[in-house]
Amino acid sequence: MDRVRLHQLLTGVRDGTVGVEEALAALRTLPFEDLGFARVDHHRAIRKGFPEVIFGQGKTAPQIAQIAQCLVAQGQQALITRLDEAKAQEVRVLLPALRYYPEGRLGAVGEPPLPPQGQGIVLVVAAGTADLPVAEEAALSAQFMGNRVERLYDVGVAGLHRLLGSAETLHAATVLVVVAGMEGALPSVVAGLVDKPVIAVPTSVGYGASFNGLAALLAMLNSCAAGVVVVNIDNGFGAAAAATLINRLTCHQPRD
Amino acid sequence: MDRVRLHQLLTGVRDGTVGVEEALAALRTLPFEDLGFARVDHHRAIRKGFPEVIFGQGKTAPQIAQIAQCLVAQGQQALITRLDEAKAQEVRVLLPALRYYPEGRLGAVGEPPLPPQGQGIVLVVAAGTADLPVAEEAALSAQFMGNRVERLYDVGVAGLHRLLGSAETLHAATVLVVVAGMEGALPSVVAGLVDKPVIAVPTSVGYGASFNGLAALLAMLNSCAAGVVVVNIDNGFGAAAAATLINRLTCHQPRD
Amino acid sequence: MDRVRLHQLLTGVRDGTVGVEEALAALRTLPFEDLGFARVDHHRAIRKGFPEVIFGQGKTAPQIAQIAQCLVAQGQQALITRLDEAKAQEVRVLLPALRYYPEGRLGAVGEPPLPPQGQGIVLVVAAGTADLPVAEEAALSAQFMGNRVERLYDVGVAGLHRLLGSAETLHAATVLVVVAGMEGALPSVVAGLVDKPVIAVPTSVGYGASFNGLAALLAMLNSCAAGVVVVNIDNGFGAAAAATLINRLTCHQPRD
Amino acid sequence: MDRVRLHQLLTGVRDGTVGVEEALAALRTLPFEDLGFARVDHHRAIRKGFPEVIFGQGKTAPQIAQIAQCLVAQGQQALITRLDEAKAQEVRVLLPALRYYPEGRLGAVGEPPLPPQGQGIVLVVAAGTADLPVAEEAALSAQFMGNRVERLYDVGVAGLHRLLGSAETLHAATVLVVVAGMEGALPSVVAGLVDKPVIAVPTSVGYGASFNGLAALLAMLNSCAAGVVVVNIDNGFGAAAAATLINRLTCHQPRD
Amino acid sequence: MDRVRLHQLLTGVRDGTVGVEEALAALRTLPFEDLGFARVDHHRAIRKGFPEVIFGQGKTAPQIAQIAQCLVAQGQQALITRLDEAKAQEVRVLLPALRYYPEGRLGAVGEPPLPPQGQGIVLVVAAGTADLPVAEEAALSAQFMGNRVERLYDVGVAGLHRLLGSAETLHAATVLVVVAGMEGALPSVVAGLVDKPVIAVPTSVGYGASFNGLAALLAMLNSCAAGVVVVNIDNGFGAAAAATLINRLTCHQPRD
Amino acid sequence: MDRVRLHQLLTGVRDGTVGVEEALAALRTLPFEDLGFARVDHHRAIRKGFPEVIFGQGKTAPQIAQIAQCLVAQGQQALITRLDEAKAQEVRVLLPALRYYPEGRLGAVGEPPLPPQGQGIVLVVAAGTADLPVAEEAALSAQFMGNRVERLYDVGVAGLHRLLGSAETLHAATVLVVVAGMEGALPSVVAGLVDKPVIAVPTSVGYGASFNGLAALLAMLNSCAAGVVVVNIDNGFGAAAAATLINRLTCHQPRD
Amino acid sequence: MDRVRLHQLLTGVRDGTVGVEEALAALRTLPFEDLGFARVDHHRAIRKGFPEVIFGQGKTAPQIAQIAQCLVAQGQQALITRLDEAKAQEVRVLLPALRYYPEGRLGAVGEPPLPPQGQGIVLVVAAGTADLPVAEEAALSAQFMGNRVERLYDVGVAGLHRLLGSAETLHAATVLVVVAGMEGALPSVVAGLVDKPVIAVPTSVGYGASFNGLAALLAMLNSCAAGVVVVNIDNGFGAAAAATLINRLTCHQPRD
Amino acid sequence: MDRVRLHQLLTGVRDGTVGVEEALAALRTLPFEDLGFARVDHHRAIRKGFPEVIFGQGKTAPQIAQIAQCLVAQGQQALITRLDEAKAQEVRVLLPALRYYPEGRLGAVGEPPLPPQGQGIVLVVAAGTADLPVAEEAALSAQFMGNRVERLYDVGVAGLHRLLGSAETLHAATVLVVVAGMEGALPSVVAGLVDKPVIAVPTSVGYGASFNGLAALLAMLNSCAAGVVVVNIDNGFGAAAAATLINRLTCHQPRD
């Protein structure tokens, strides 16, 4: 039952062609999503900031191309995550408009990235060069979602001077995405230096007792520094999405 | 070496009573924290929003009272987390000014909670009544840190109508702290309904294969909804601290 | 907005005191649970078979008594699970009508257990005597929910003749709840003998590498026998609830 | 010793050609399965509803073809699970009658699927498109075993309106198989909406802290909604087998 | 149906008072355990060597006393494992004949321990003094089951000379039960020195990353020395039972 | 220092050409393995029953061939475990005498398998056809080490009649190696039927929550049946080695 | 057979009262530890630096007192680890000479701590106040073993200035014991600042996903800083023992 | 701001061209790493002993070649770890000066290995031949860093005589790196024989319940022998780095 049918029902009540009890019965079985006014608006609001995202891993090139084309046909952008280089080439054959960013394993189609929406800076900090694919997934995704993004890479805790020497960059950020594998100590150290929210991203970089990122994940969850929150292992996109929602608050108009 | 002594050193150089090489040697061993200009300011800034926090678990009542008195003597507030009722009574004997909030296992001393700093609302959502101690730790901590806090409790996913019926409350929030044990599904559902950051707090509520909150923790880390970030099991205070840092951004003046 | 207010709204539309657009706006923000016609009916249907259940563990005696009294006042029954003997005595002081079943750590208040609803038999099978608290939680809960329940206890796989000698009992059952700790092998063996659904309940009985029931849980999830489904460790009530929903299908009138 | 030989033995006793003690000795070593009257009938009963199932993973194409041909020669059907496309082509060379269903990685030989046996509907619900192989394994297996099957796909909890809008479909089901990876929240939400048994199937869809489906498995085992039972990760067939046994109860004639 | 009734049935067939078909029908539903000739003999054989064992942990003193009295009344012995000192005193009030062995947390009632049955020696080797309760559970249980038992304690691998100096004792053993906590290295070292089966018993002795015996368990399962088999953590009785079955083979008369 | 040199030393002392103190000094640094009388005899005894075993996994074909040739040159046999078919062909090019047993992934060189040494029967029992590689590794290894071996395959617990119908075979065994994956229930059931030692071998057969054999391993360690001992996952050879040591005891001459 | 008896044996050979073959036979069964010349010297050397250590946890006060008295009677010192205050009082009743150090849960008897042996400094660094019991166990144990010990406490990574301000102390150390719970990041940071070996000690301080110190342990094992080695969770004594062995090398005279 | 600029600043203050307040302001924002006097010296000191290390795994050949060339251009050596043979060949095409050590999967460029720096011996002990790649990574790395290195391989605990016969080699070492997979028992045994620090390296050698080295890791962390410290699974380089730092102490000149 959509808005039109709901209008008809109410008009019927007004006009007396539909009884009150009959309308009550009709409303009783009203499907939720057909009503769902606020939710539709809300969905639209989300879409303005968040392009549609296609998780590329485990999908075939034709599947990805088809979903992306469908979105483009509706005038939307699409961001494709976890898209390796070989598959990207296959997708491009089907979808020549595909832009590919190998450093973050991301693809994109549709109009160019959104203009900045939040007024702040999303700073992506990475511990080592092996963490860069995840860091770039975060940085590029955040750019794609309309954030101003800066990068601070290769500042692992075993050489603190590199991090401490970038204090200005750290303090200028509005929200920080801190990416680290191995022992995952960087978010704690960074969060001890800034007074902004830190989104920690453990990576699967390491071997042996890193257990594919479990060590870094647990370290970040147990951070002794206040203000650290965590996303899944290697989830650069997830961190970017949360950072986007936080950065937007800098434009926030409070309710009164 | 504080600012005064540094001034004396430089004055000595200017006046010729301290040689350049001598000053170089003194600066060479300059303890970092004694210099630390920005950091001191920065710490003060943090302290304005974050009262000193004493992790009460595993400390004796005299230890807690002594640390708290020391803070009060410096004109600061102190928040004591994980303070059970029996220990709170012991502390109060030593520190009559202690205010105790049994529902969140929190104690506080010092001047009354800070006035609102962020312009938004921190909404604490809890799945079940057994999650309330963690939810209240979050809610009361957030209030103590100067946030406007609202609560939405007992809205677990097994009875969705309770959650869906509170859409207004959900949409009015600036940042949401969502507390759940058992299967930890609530943050995913909530994050699907709002366009604000969701801080998920797994609780140790459950038994058997909940493995003391591991099930809820893993569920939240794997949330299919964008914008969910996670803190440690039962870490209500940590969620409140992150929420405070996020809420403050609503007053953010961007750098130009 | 409840039924009364909805009726007023529709009456207003009929009478012309409320405009169609105004009603549309009101309905747009209609809280879901306040409408919730089908859900209310549906809830009532559930309640007919499922008494309200209070998870007793971690609640104080006054909390339990208050919730139970509230339910009784509404003419409902209440089942309290995980209620140990000491707490049961405390509850009874506040709620003299409490019936207590120590063998299943269950309490009940309200009118006597429901008459049989399903036409079949819920058979609770247990491997060892140490599994009895969980088995009785299942058996008594199932009785309370209106099932005809039979028991077959102490038929662990290390002495198969005990199980094989009860073939008639096994085959007479409509749905079987099979409770076992240690290596958790019983559900596989039972499911190999019957053609009815088997709900496996791992228990935390064991030590060392049982890891509080993990060994039994994993064994049951990996059952080589078709038709085995699993619930959480020690979750006798959950098995009974599922068994009740299955047993009811014996009265099922298919839709045409 | 089969029925014929047992008859001969008893006839010998009657006729005096076999002494009582001699017969006692013969019965003493009577192999169980040779007697097993009820069990043979019982097995036949199972076979009527459950075609023989060949677990294809880890078997070579010739092995699969040989077992399947053997079953067909006995007038039976065979269902082959976890049969990937490449191997299916190899099997078809050896067994041209093979029907292959790539969407569920299933193969089948023998007479066409059984006519509906239970009077109800097995509804297979899936959270995301990546869960479809497991969902289709469940759906096609259930069809093959003679159930009427319906599907409700891509209704993950991050967009609740999709699920809530299908309330009719949900309520029409007799037993629900709910398939989800990632955080595995869907079964809890579905079980909160229906009063029928829900068989939860965790999938290995996810990465990082999903630990190949462990996160979803634990979430489902800890479901706060009554009536949820769980099978192994990715075990679509197992869920279908249990659903079949449950659906059959709709035809159940109770013993008197 | 026991042997007597079976005899009556066969006599009836012989005498013509029971028809062949009637006897067939009676046999068809013959409960397995009632027939169970070999199994009854077999059980008796087991009982000759294995006294009945009551797992004392989690049972009340009255429960233990009642089961033990029942066994004694049938002329059997009973061994009670995991019986702590306080509970043993309670049991003795009810069952004055109880013999208690605090060093192995064992109780016993009934006739004195069986005379040696196997012709060999069960050697119990323990790494440290903290492993003694488990070692004594093994040693005393093995004695109780009729084995000649020797002990070699406090020979951990950090001081190899203690072990190497006992080569005679090691080589004289027929089967060795090797008990160790912490890193669980002793069974590998012992199995490298002897050519007899080694039953490794991990203990929960340790802290931190011993994870309650998991470290020792894994080490023993991964032993690089041939001939090591493993039982559950702290399962001294289980090791003794297996050692008894092995030691008996020294009296073995092969089938021809 | 071997026996010859030790004899020379003592003769020198007797003859006065070596002083007592000089001999003491020589003995003081005596390398252990050079003395090692008992150990050398002991090693020879082991070698008589245990052919040298080469763990083939992770070794190159040339490495395997070289080690095997070295053993053959010393008149010994060699057993190569975990040798896949491709590598076996490579080895055979270098070592034409290689005998290869693909069903157990074993290779052998040197004189034919030893004649029976123990007087008993090693029975290898396997639950499913997927467990056969491990079962055959056990069976062939045991044969190679001089045991009489029998096999009982495809007797999983989901169809008990297959196992129960083989009671004679089970009771004729001296020691049983029971191989099972999935839920690993077979050893418990078998150990409940026999009074001989049962060596349980968990296999990595399974998927999802079998966690590569962990489920079966835990189940076997928690067996409720006395007399079950366990080896590592997929360790068919280890079970055969332990079974050999046990079977030899049937020829045991006790010390007096 | 000790040195005296060996001398007698060789003298007998020299004097002709013991034949060469007889002596060979005697040496053949020579118990290893009785020979063990180097080992005895070696043990004495160890004892000089390492007092005997009694692991107090799980031992009764009388057991501890008896072992300690035995050591004192032999002129040795004894160090008792994991000795809580209540048990220490019980021990002191039996052993008035006991010195108790509650801050490290250590007891000691015998002559005063050894004078410095290594020429360097063992620096014990601790992250938080909750880590102090473990840190003090390390520091006091190291002092007791004759090291010069310094302490640097409460320098967790969330406030780096505290650590960086102590650069002199860090650089003066010869070997560093770094104690941390929670995320265990401190050893990585410290090892990035110094060029000396760092022994990392994870503590069980934390809650939730610290899993009793597992998070810190994994972090330390995955340290990205070269030169970090790790001991068991809460193993302050073990770190002190390793630090002592390292510190002694500062007095090392190389072999030529 | 480096030393030169700091000198200029101070000279300016002395000369009056820079005001005190101006200098204070300049120092206030002084980047840490630019000051860092001790740290720069300290870094140089580290580099003298530790060549730059490139973790080769996960890097492409061009990346490795480029980083190595950059180091060589600065007159430094470079050590490349985890460099497999195929990739080494690719690197050599780009960097002909590459020396490759396949036995330790190491590559090196730059001037020949440093001359011995510590005065002691780093002894690398390995349990089995499968552990050699890790052992050689340790041994070659230690040589490269300027240590005198000895090797003692294939001395697993299942044949103790091999280890005990090498007592001289063991006692001559200054620091021991002990490498073992499977049950990881060797470090405990070695540490019981020597009075020097033992760095234990668990390897991923094994299968089944070795869980890729977890069993060995846990065993080593729980070593009952004092003086054992542990590094990550397969981390031969890390052990060598720690051994180098320890060995250097033999040249240590204590501070006065």
Q: What is the pLDDT of residues C151-192, one digit of tens each?
A: 999 888 887 877 887 888 998 999 999 999 999 999 999 998
The CATH number of A121-251 is 3.40.50.1970
More confident of the two residues A225 and D256 = A225
Structure-model confidence comparison of residues H113 and B22, the more confident one: B22
> Full-prediction pTM beyond 0.95?
no
β A99-101/A106-109 pair status: antiparallel
Contact of B120 with B146, CB cutoff 8 Å: no
- Which of the pair, A187 or F171, is modelled with greater confidence? A187
Tell me which of E222, E229, E233 to substitute to probe the interface with H (most H C-beta atoms closer than 10 Å).
E222
The percentage of residues in chain E with a pLDDT greater than 90, rounded to a whole number, is 50
Q: Is A24 in contact with C6 (Cβ distance < 8 A)?
A: yes
Q: Which residue in chain E is spatially nearest to D21 when comparing CA positions?
A: E7
In angstroms, the separation between the Cα of residue E193 and the nearest Cα of chain H is 7
What does the pLDDT look like over C147-159, one tens digit per residue?
Answer: 999 999 988 888 7
Percent of chain C with pLDDT strictly greater than 70: 81
Rounded Cα–Cα distance for residues G144 and G111 (Å): 10
Q: Cβ contact (<8 Å) for A221 and G214?
A: no
CA distance E65 to chain G (A): 29
Give the pLDDT mean for D39-67: 65
Residue C93 burial class via C-beta count within 10 angstroms: exposed 0-12, middle 13-18, buried 19 and up: exposed
**Euclidean distance between CA atoms F81 and F102, whole angstroms:** 11
For residue F85, CA distances in Å to F62, F103, F107 come to: 15, 10, 10
Question: Angle, nearest 10°, between helix axes E61-73 and E85-94?
Answer: 50
Q: Is the pLDDT higher at C48 or at F136?
A: F136
CB contact under 8 A, H234 and A207: yes
pLDDT in tens, B114-129: 666 678 999 999 998 8
Residue F54: phi and psi, rounded to 5, are -110, 120
Span of D156-165, E80-89, F119-128, G145-154 with lowest mean pLDDT: D156-165
For the cut 80, the answer to whether the pLDDT of residue H156 exceeds it is yes
**Interstrand relation of F99-101 and F106-109 (parallel, antiparallel or unpaired):** antiparallel
Task: Return d(Cα C80, Cα C108) in angstroms, integer.
Answer: 6
Write down which chains contact chain D via at least 3 CB pairs under 8 A: A, B, C, E, F
DSSP reduced 3-state for A252: coil
* % of chain H surpassing 90 pLDDT: 50
pLDDT at residue F42 in the model: 32
pLDDT digits (tens, 9 = 90+) for D200-214: 999 999 999 999 999
Contact assignment for G204 to E208 by CB distance below 8 Å: yes
Whole-number pLDDT of residue G47: 38
For the beta sheet containing H78-81, the strands, ordered from the edge strand earlier in sequence to the opposite edge, are: H52-55, H78-81, H106-109, H99-101
pLDDT of residue F41: 30
Of C158, C222, C224, nearest to F192 by CB-CB distance is C158
Helix (H, G, I), strand (E, B) or coil at A141: helix
% of chain F surpassing 70 pLDDT: 80
pLDDT confidence of residue A1: 38
Nearest to B107 by CA among B116, B117, B97: B97
For E232, the closest of C165, C166, C209 (CB atoms) is C209
pLDDT: which is higher, E129 or A117? E129
| Contact at CB, G127 and A211, closer than 8 angstroms | no
H93 vs F57, higher pLDDT: H93
pLDDT at D35: 29
In whole angstroms, give the CA distance from residue D237 to residue D226. 23
The beta-carbon neighbor of H162 closest among F33, F214, F234 is F33
Task: Tell if the CB–CB gap between C242 and D227 is shorter than 8 Å.
Answer: yes
Distance set, CA A62 to CA C212, D131, E205 (Å): 47, 18, 58
Please name the residue that has the structure tokens 């069974």.
E187
Instruction: Count interface pairs D-F at CB distance under 8 A.
Output: 39
Mutate to test the interface with F, among D203, D230, D232, D237 (most CBs of F within 10 A): D232
Has residue B35 got a pLDDT over 60?
A: no
User: A108 with A146: CB under 8 angstroms?
Assistant: no
CA distance D183 to chain A (A): 11
Disruptive mutation site among G163, G178, G188 for chain A (greatest number of A CBs within 10 Å): G188
pLDDT given for residue B6 in this prediction: 65
Please write the tens of the pLDDT for every residue from E156-175.
888 787 788 788 899 899 99
Q: In chain C, what is the straight-line distance between the N-terminal and C-terminal CA atoms, in Å?
A: 35
Report the gap between the CA of H58 and the closest CA in chain F (Å).
Answer: 22
Contact C137, C81 (CB under 8 A): yes
Other CB atoms within 10 Å distance of the CB of residue F115: 7
Averaged pLDDT for residues C26-40: 37
Nearest to D33 among F161, F207, F210 (CB): F161
pLDDT given at position A76: 73
Whether pLDDT at H42 is above 50: no
CA B109 to chain centroid, in Å, comes to 16
Q: Would you say C167 and C181 are in contact if contact means Cβ atoms under 8 Å apart?
A: no
Task: Give the nearest partner residue to D14 out of E7, E16, E32, using CB atoms.
Answer: E16
pLDDT at G48 over 60: no
**Is the Cβ pair B225, D158 closer than 8 Å?**
yes
CA dist H155 and G127 (Å) reads 40
Q: Which residues contact H21 (CB under 8 A, 6 or more apart)?
A: none
What percentage of chain F has pLDDT greater than the value 90?
50
For residues A60 and C229, the model is more confident at C229
Q: Which helix (H) or strand (E) holds B107?
A: strand B106-109
Q: Do F128 and C224 touch (CB under 8 A)?
A: yes
Nearest to F233 among H129, H165, H208 (CB): H208
According to DSSP, the residues that pair with H123 across neighbouring strands are H150, H176
Contact G58 E165 (CB under 8 A): no
Q: Which residue of G has its CA nearest to A227?
A: G158
* Set of chain C residues whose Cβ sits within 8 Å of the Cβ of B167: 29, 31-32
Asked if H120 and H173 count as a contact pair (C-beta separation under 8 A), the reply is yes
Give the closest of C119, C241, C252 to D120, CB-based.
Answer: C252
pLDDT above 90 (res E150): yes
E133-151 b/e (C-beta count within 10 Å ≥ 16 → b): bbbbbbbbbbbbbbbbbeb
D36 neighbourhood in chain F, CB within 8 Å: 161
Instruction: For residue E39, list chain F residues with Cβ-Cβ distance below 8 A.
Output: 193
The alpha carbon of residue A71 is apart from the nearest alpha carbon of chain H, in Å, by: 35
SS3 D182: coil
Q: Quote the pLDDT of residue F34.
A: 31
Q: Nearest CA to A127 among B84, G238, G223?
A: G223
| Close Cβ partners of F157 (under 8 Å, ≥ 6 residues apart) | C157, C185, C188, C189, C192, C224, C225, F127, F163, F185, F186, F189
Q: Which has the minimum average pLDDT: A108-117, G49-58, G84-93, H170-179? A: A108-117
> Which two tokens mark D104?
């569920």
Helix axes F37-49, G20-28, angle to 10 degrees: 60
Residue E253 pLDDT > 70:
no
- Residue of H28, H33, H66, H214 to mutate, testing the A interface (most A Cβ within 10 Å of its Cβ): H33
What is the average per-residue pLDDT within E39-53? 45
* Closest-approach residue (CA) in chain C for E204: C208
The pLDDT value given to residue C51: 64
Report chain H's terminal Cα–Cα distance, integer Å.
33
DSSP strands (E only) in chain G: 52-55, 78-81, 99-101, 106-109, 121-126, 148-153, 175-180, 198-202, 228-230
Whether residue C217 and residue B208 make contact (CB cut-off 8 A), yes or no, is yes
Q: How far is E71 from chain G (nearest CA, A)?
A: 35
C61-105 pLDDT, tens digit per residue, is 988 888 888 778 767 778 899 999 999 999 999 999 999 999 999
Spell out the domain ranges in chain F. Answer: 3-109, 121-251
What token pair was written down for G225?
Answer: 């800083």
* B252 has pLDDT over 60: no
Give the pLDDT confidence score for residue G130 in this predicted structure: 87
Asked whether residue B131 carries a pLDDT value surpassing 70, the answer given is yes
Report the 10 Å Cβ neighbour count for E85: 9
G41: which 2 tokens?
């010297």
- Give the helix, strand, coil percentages of chain F, each rounded to 5: 50, 15, 35
Q: How would you classify the pairing of strands H121-126 and H148-152?
A: parallel
pLDDT confidence bin for G42, thresholds 50/70/90: very low
The mean predicted confidence, pLDDT, of chain H is: 82
Smallest Cα distance from E233 to chain D, Å: 25
CA–CA distance, B147 with B135 (Å, rounded to integer): 15
Point out the residue among G121, G196, G249 whose CB comes nearest to the CB of H250: G249
pLDDT the model gives residue H247: 94
Q: Phi, psi at residue F191, to the nearest 5°?
A: -65, -20
Residue pair G225/A186 in contact (Cβ under 8 Å)? The answer is no
The pLDDT of residue H34: 31
Q: Do chains C and E touch (3 or more CB pairs under 8 A)?
A: yes
Say whether D100 sits in a helix, a strand or coil.
Answer: strand
Nearest-Cα distance to chain C for D17, in Å, is 31
- Average pLDDT value for residue range E29-46: 33
Task: Name the interface residues of C facing F (CB cutoff 8 Å).
Answer: 127-128, 156-160, 164, 182-185, 188-189, 191-193, 206, 208-211, 214-216, 218-226
G90 with G61: CB under 8 angstroms?
yes
Contact C57 B207 (CB under 8 A): yes
Predicted confidence (pLDDT) at residue E230 exceeds the cutoff of 80: yes
**Contact (CB, 8 A) for G181 and G210:** yes
Q: Which residues of D touch B178 (CB under 8 A)?
A: none
Can chain F be said to touch chain H, i.e. do they have 3 or more Cβ pairs within 8 angstroms? yes
Task: State how beta strands C106-109 and C99-101 pair.
Answer: antiparallel
